[in-house]
Chains A and B, each alone.
With several copies, the nearest count.
Chain A
Amino acid sequence: MTTICTSTQEALSGIADGATVLVGGFGMAGMPVHLLDALIDAGPRDLTIVSNNAGNGDTGLAALLSKGRVRKVVCSFPRQSDSWVFDDLYHRGLVELEVVPQGTLAERIRAAGAGIGAFYCPTGAGTILAEGKETRELGGRTHVLEYPLAGDIALIGAHIADRMGNLVYRKTARNFGPVMATAATTTIVQVERIVATGELDPETIITPSIFVDRVVAVGDHQ
């Protein structure tokens, strides 16, 4: 059952210290900024954050990092021109980092949602990111054994939800949302608006309601 929340505060209630939080978005597209603000207010500590980047500027993930709430970041691309908050914490040894190739990150999250125990992936074979990992030759190519990456919580930014919890996305803001929604115990979604069930074209629904636990409307982001 999907709960329609009336505030981001309600949507972010009950997040435990030590939780693994999947955070959608690529750049600002699909970034659940309102949910991240509410996560900061909610106060849980010692979090593991799984996201493509490790925060930009001083808001969102960067603000969460700067408040010392994050123990570990799992991401593909932590180093950016405006990732000074993460850079500083990392160089001071205050945050752990696991770098995962972007496609392997997405596939490990998918595997968690899809009940796949592990998979052999050619990406990164022979590189330092595969050091210590089990490998196997398959089809004449070295593959690395990769494990599912599940979250306690997923924070997703989508376009529109219906009252049942079905989601549509918009253009490249889709990115990590649909796979992360499948891979968390509790999936929390911010949308621009919530419409009556039946108003969304079934052929456009990318995340069915079964993957959505809480949804909150935050208004148009543009």
Chain B
Amino acid sequence: MTTTTPTPSTDRPRTKAQIAAAVAEDIPAGSYVNLGIGQPTLVADHIRADAGVILHTENGMLNMGRAAAGDEVDPDLINAGKVPVTEPAGASYFHHADSFAMMRGGHLDICVLGAFQVAANGDLANWHTGAPDAIPAVGGAMDLAIGAKRLFVMMTLLTKQGTPKLVPACTYPLTGLACVDRIYTDLATFAVSPDGVEVLSVHGTTFADLRALLDVPLVDAR
């Protein structure tokens, strides 16, 4: 499925911008893509303007433009994060049922989401901590998780407490089952496969260290 050369491994952990750039590199020209709210929106900055990548926003727009500035701001023209955006040539609008039909029907090539946890089998947890006082708020996360042809996750590999987010099985409430294809992190890029989790690149770590760190079966696919 990969249409680009794998990202080379590097000696240092990747910054958020570098992770976003790595995701952008793996998006084939002409793809229809939904970038989730938060960190995934950074990917837009790294997609080459001539790649013909077309962005979908689930609140009803295809070929969404960049963030609006100054006089461009129009309260009727926002993205899923409720940020004002612009209308490039070729943009189109549709209502919410049609927008999610587009997603759920498998028409988007790639969706990029953040995550709390990803399991070795591709299960995704990214909507709810499960804390007893947390108000559950799913938004479009579950639709996005199951809708696109391929789902890329962007996250740090470890929590602030140093616990891996790539896990044998998610302990947080699930967003979708076996839906993640790729995981882009500061320390490595992974591909979920039937044979285990493939390591596509490492950054500021080694395959051996990752194997020691993570409680999931890893395959060296560099």
Contact = CB atoms under 8 A, between A and B. Distances in A.
A79 B128 CA distance: 11
B107 A127 contact: no
Nearest to A76: B139
A21 to B, nearest CB: 17
B32 to A, nearest CB: 5
A129 B97 CA distance: 19
Nearest to A163: B90
Interface residues of A, number: 71
A68 interface: no
Contacts of B32: 210
Given A78-B137, A115-B101, A175-B96, A27 B78 contact: yes
A106 B97 contact: yes
A107 B95 contact: no
A77 B139 CA distance: 5
Contacts of A169: 93
Given A26-B59, A122-B146, A210-B32, A174 B137 contact: no
A182 to B, nearest CB: 6
B92 A205 contact: yes
Interface stretch (A11-19, A41-49, A196-204): A196-204
Interface in A55-88: 76-80, 86-87
Interface string A16-56: 00000000001111100000000000000000000010000
Given A124-B142, A127-B176, A171 B102 contact: no
Contacts of A182: 101-102, 105, 107
A221 B74 CA distance: 11
Nearest to B56: A210
Interface string B87-120: 1011111111101111111111000000000000
Given A122-B146, A171-B87, A110 B97 contact: yes
A105 B104 CA distance: 13
A9 interface: no
Interface residues of B, number: 59
A142 B96 CA distance: 23
A125 B173 CA distance: 12
B138 interface: yes
B30 interface: yes
Contacts, number: 205
A125 B177 contact: yes
B135 A79 contact: yes
Given A102-B96, A103-B140, A121 B104 contact: yes
A104 B102 CA distance: 13
B186 interface: no
B93 A102 contact: no
Main secondary structure of the interface of B (DSSP, over half): loop
Contacts of B128: 128
Contacts of A109: 97
Interface string B13-37: 0000000000000000110100000
Contacts of B97: 103, 106-107, 109-110, 178-179
Contacts of A191: none
A87 B136 CA distance: 11
Contacts of B89: 197-198
Interface stretch (B3-11, B60-68, B152-160): B60-68
Contacts of A198: 89-90
Interface string A106-148: 1101101111100001111111110000000000001000000
A169 B128 CA distance: 34
Interface of A: 1, 26-30, 52, 76-80, 86-87, 90-91, 97, 99-107, 109-110, 112-116, 121-129, 142, 159, 162, 164, 166, 169-179, 182, 197-198, 202-203, 205-206, 208-211, 221-222
26 contacts: A26-B78, A27-B59, A28-B82, A52-B96, A77-B139, A99-B137, A101-B141, A103-B100, A106-B99, A107-B101, A116-B104, A126-B176, A127-B174, A162-B90, A171-B74, A171-B76, A172-B79, A174-B94, A178-B95, A179-B96, A182-B101, A198-B89, A202-B93, A205-B92, A209-B62, A210-B102
